[in-house]
Structure 1
Amino acid sequence: MGICDMHCHLLPEIDDGYLSREQFIRMLNLYQLSGVTAIAFTPHIYNPYVTTNVSKLRETYEWAKKESQALGIKTYLGSELYVGEQETLKTVPIDGRFALVEFGLSLPPPRLLERLQQLTEMHYRPLIAHVERYLWLNPKSAMLQRLRSLGCLLQTNVEAVESGLSLPYLELGLIDVIATDNHGDETLPARLMDAIEKWPSVGRSMQNLW
């Protein structure tokens, strides 16, 4: 398999991507031109700051899947699960295998390891979104090592690669996935490929996931 963008918010009118269907089709063409071969659509769920139109999710995804297939782009429906204080974690896993998760920025959620264990017991592998954002999860923290021991994968955003924010994680070989977290920025597909070219070891890791 080629390169999959495993984190984006591009489904039209579903969450805070706010793309129209026309903008979505234009974006698909840019992904194809950039050489991205697969996209996982990961709208927010349980995020207290984002309203997600869950009732239209499946219908909109099926439309997006057909448009993508016409361009030779494989698609997956997933979600970006906000892990707050909910007792049971429910997610839409990417390809039935990867559970993209996000957290509050300043402090870890209660009983984090115990609750992520719920996902692994469902045979989902947690993929921590934009790991560089969490103030409590620096590259050498004990918590990060525990998360790695649990089998968690780490994702960084293209913008963090470009700015150097994720450099400490990259230099230690901790990043498994670079993704766009695209909310409608047409420059991101090409920038994703540029970031992967600069960090080929991550590109190999991404391909090996499939």
Structure 2
Amino acid sequence: MESIIRVMRKNKLGIYDFHCHVLPGMDDGCRSVEESIQVMEESLKQGVCAIMATPHYYPRETVESFIIRRKAAYDRLSEKLNENKIRVPMLNLGAEVAWHNGLIYEERLEELCFGKSDYMLLEMPFTKWSSSVLSDVRKLLNMRNIRVIIAHFERYLKIQDKKMIESLLDMDVMIQMNGEYILGFWTQRKAAKMLRNGVVQLLGSDAHNMVQRLPNLGEACRKMSQMGLGDVLMDIQETSVEIFQESIYGSGD
């Protein structure tokens, strides 16, 4: 990954984006290398120092096929960046893995984790969760030894029963919140409450392109500071540094 990793800030506690559809042509995110670069440059302007590329993984393809496509997209982007010496945040590879029946038995599932780490971004179903869904999360944790990060947790709150939400939070999972929830006029108070209560450990822009679902994590972090959540942001940034470093270098065990 070193060919594309460009550390643009000496401040190790910069903004880390753990949910971004920045790889070209992988999913409903950026369609071209040029669009990917626009997203990365805008992220840099907002103070983002590192991005985890998390294209959607769905069961319609094998993990092997997905990894081949992801590497090809990464290589196209890397070539353009290096050729033109474009300043961008650090970049590493992961996936937004959609829960589905049989997920826990997928071969090479660990290769969908963030880089060399065992952290995986999991998108939960947007239907009522059953006990089997939560059972699968437990099996990912205990049987596959994957450290699960729940993607855009706030999106499930209106859909799921309170008991299901509580059961999920009782597990050893991490929670990722989107910048949009922090910035939303109708949602920022709810976001602030969750952040103050320590529910959220990681942030993401969930950026797709420069037309819809734009990069916004720098704005979200500034909003957190304005809301008196500077200490919370610092804790999140420290956790982010540890996870991103592990994604590059491994756990060291």
What residue number does 1:17 align with? 29
Pick aligned residue for 1:129 from 145, 151, 174: 151
Q: 2:222 aligned with 1:191, yes or no?
A: no
* Corresponding residue SS for 2:28: coil
What residue number does 1:158 align with? 179
Aligned partner letter, 1:11: L
Tell me by how many angstroms 1:131 deviates: 0.9
Pick aligned residue for 1:173 from 198, 213, 237: 198
String of CA shifts for 1:89-129, please: whole Å, max 9, x gaps.
53611132211111222311551232122322333211111
Pick aligned residue for 2:94 from 73, 78, 90: 78
String of CA shifts for 1:145-182, please: whole Å, max 9, x gaps.
33233211111111111124342423432111221100
What TM-score do you get using the length of structure 1 for normalisation? 0.82
Q: 2:77 aligned with 1:64, yes or no?
A: yes
- Count the aligned residue pairs: 204
8 Å CA contact 1:103–1:109 kept in 2: the answer is no
What residue number does 2:114 align with? 94
Structure 1 unaligned regions, length at least 5: none
8 Å CA contact 2:122–2:151 kept in 1: the answer is yes
Cα RMSD, aligned residues only: 2.7
8 Å CA contact 1:85–1:109 kept in 2: the answer is no
With 174-183 and 97-106 compared, the bigger mean Cα shift is at: 97-106
Closer/same/farther in 2, CA of residues 38 and 117 from structure 1, 3 Å limit: same
String of CA shifts for 1:39-78, please: whole Å, max 9, x gaps.
0000111177xxxx83421121234356389526222211
Pick aligned residue for 1:147 from 148, 165, 168: 168
Matches within 5 A, 1:41-56: 41-46=53-58, 54=66, 55-56=68-69
Aligned partner letter, 1:73: P
Q: Distance in 2 between matches of 1:143 and 1:110?
A: 8
What TM-score do you get using the length of structure 2 for normalisation? 0.69
Q: Distance in 1 between matches of 2:59 and 2:118?
A: 21
Closer/same/farther in 2, CA of residues 99 and 195 from structure 1, 3 Å limit: farther
Deviating above 4 A after TM superposition, structure 1's stretches of 4 or more consecutive aligned residues are: none
Name the structure, 1 or 2, with higher relative contact order (CA <8 Å, separation 6+). Answer: 2
* Corresponding residue SS for 2:181: helix
Matches within 5 A, 1:94-113: 94-95=114-115, 96-109=117-130, 111-113=132-134
